[in-house]
Each structure stands twice: as structure tokens, then as C-alpha cells.
Amino acid sequence: MEITVNEKKMVIDNFTTLFELRDQIKPDADVVIINGYQTDTDIKLQEGDKISLIRKGEIPDKSEIKYLMMARHTPGVHDKLQKGFVAIAGLGGLGSNVAVSLARMGIGTIKLIDFDIVEPSNLNRQQYFIHQIGKSKTEALKDTLLNINPYNTYLTENIYITAENAKKTLKGYDVIIEAFDKAKNKAMLINECLKHFPGKCIIGASGVAGVFDTESLKIHKIGKNTYIVGDMVNEARPGCGLMATRVAVAANMQAHLAVRYLLGEI
């Protein structure tokens, strides 16, 4: 029967068990993953099983690493996500966190859009490092994403998005993430996207400030494919700041909606 081991197809005897296979192919493997699940229990292999064998601490060669990174994905997910095109408008507390999660998930093409540079007050919640202060957010984040997962395509554009340039900058993407800071820019982007890209998935956020309960963060659906994440009330203002723990929950709710849309789950 045919199975896949570390993304290479091979034919094995029927009745072979998982651990017998490991002992034949990579006896020093200390992580054994079958169909996305890491296991300590030996089982009989079935036709079509996908197995990853990993020696902890060993850096695999390039041909293997892409697939080993995705070994804990639910089977089939990675292939679909690799075909996805996602644009992220704004790379602050929302956008930088969305980008990191989508890069780890293996979204094939991610466009990063922002006009600003990294500065110290970003670091309480945004995915940048001290040594990146002064760099453009697009380039700083692209560097980080390439270090996390070099097997996706990352495009960047340094631009302040307006009603006039939104269409050109965001054309051709399956999913558009609105991750701006100002209320007017948020509403402008959602309105422009609904006008120009009515069939696309648009995911915005509103009401993510403060240290309020994350239970108040909800998904509000508009029309067919537009989603707004947040409590819709708590804005950033004097006395109510933006905090890593709450903003990142909202960001990952946005990222997860993008994933579910690309998988055809919503």
C-alpha cells in the first residue's frame, strides 16, 4: 500500500505499524506525527496515511522543511491555503498579528500594506523588535515572516490607503483584512471594498481597545462575505489604551475568519 513519509510517497507492506516504519526509516525520530496528530501510540498503518518523522533539534534539508513545518496541520488544509491571496491593510496591533498567524498557517500569497515606520510605542502589542525601530513596517514585518515561514510569497506596498487608491492596491485578493487604527479609515476601506469587490471576503475590526473581557469580542456579519470583529464600542481614547492580549485575540479572530473562508468553511 502507498503512504507518504516526510512528504515522499512510498510503498510499504500491508500490516506495517507506525513504529515499525519509524524504526526502518528514521529510528532516531522522537516526534512521530500521523495525519496531523502527534502520537506516542503504535498503530497499524492504512493506505494514504501521511506520516512525519522528526528528530528534535535537527534542521532538516530544504526539500523536507516546508512539509515538516506543516506536519501538525489538519491534512488537506495546507494545499488549499497555499492557493490563497490575502491582503492586509494596516500593519499595527491587528495587522502585524494577523500576518504572523497567516504566515504560520501557510497562506500562499500575503500582501503587507502600511505607510509608517516602526516606533517604540508600537512594541507593546505589534509584532516588531527593538532593532527594527525606524524601519518601514512593511519591510520589518516581511523580514520577520521570512524567518517564520520562507515558503509563502510576501508582497509589500508602502502607501497610505485612501478612497482613491484602495481599488488599485487591493485588486485581485481573495481576502482583504482591514486593520487600520482610525475609525474613518476603517469605514472608508470597508465601503470601498464593498463597492469595488462585492464578491470578496472583507474582514474588519472595531472595538478592540482596553482590558475588557475577550468574551465581548464578537463577529458581526454584513452582507454575504463581510465580517467585523470586535465589541463595536470600546475605542482607543485617553484612558483606554491598546493592549497586546486583547488586540491579538481580535487579530487572530480576523485571521481565523480568513482561513475558514479560504477553506470554504464559511
Partner 1 sequence: MKIVVNGENHILEESLTIRELIGKFGINTETVVVELNKQIVAKENFGSTKLNDSDKVEIVHFVGGG
State the number of binding residues for partner 1 (CB under 8 A): 38
Which residue, 7 or 235, is less far from partner 1 as judged by CB?
235
123 binding partner 1? (CB under 8 A): no
Grid coordinates standing for 244? 497586546
Of residues 170-229, which lie at the interface with partner 1 (CB under 8 A)? 179-184, 186-188, 190-191, 194-195, 198, 204-209, 220, 222-223, 228
For residue 223, the minimal CB distance to partner 1 (Å) is 6
Grid coordinates standing for 52? 512525519
Backbone φ/ψ region at 202: left (φ over 0), alpha (ψ -120 to 50), beta? beta
84 binding partner 1? (CB under 8 A): no
For residue 145, the minimal CB distance to partner 1 (Å) is 19
User: How far apart, in whole angstroms, are the C-alpha atoms of residue 205 and residue 234?
Assistant: 11
For residue 246, the minimal CB distance to partner 1 (Å) is 10
Q: Could you give the C-alpha distances from 207 to 19, 41, 176, 230, in angstroms and in order?
A: 50, 45, 19, 5
In the chain, the largest separation of any two C-alpha atoms, in whole Å, equals: 68
For residue 136, the minimal CB distance to partner 1 (Å) is 18
161 binding partner 1? (CB under 8 A): no
Which residue, 19 or 212, is less far from partner 1 as judged by CB?
212
Taking the CB of residue 229, how many other CB atoms lie within 10 A of it?
Answer: 26
Please pick, from the candidates 94, 105, 113, 161, the single residue that binds partner 1 as defined by CB under 8 A. 94
Contacts of 95 (CB under 8 A, 6+ apart): 88, 89, 112, 114, 177, 179, 251
For residue 152, the minimal CB distance to partner 1 (Å) is 23
106 binding partner 1? (CB under 8 A): no
For residue 115, the minimal CB distance to partner 1 (Å) is 14
Grid coordinates standing for 64? 523536507
Taking each continuous run of H as one helix and of E as one strand, the counts in the chain are 8, 12
- Binding residues vs partner 1 (CB under 8 A): 90, 92-95, 179-184, 186-188, 190-191, 194-195, 198, 204-209, 220, 222-223, 228, 230, 232-237, 242, 247
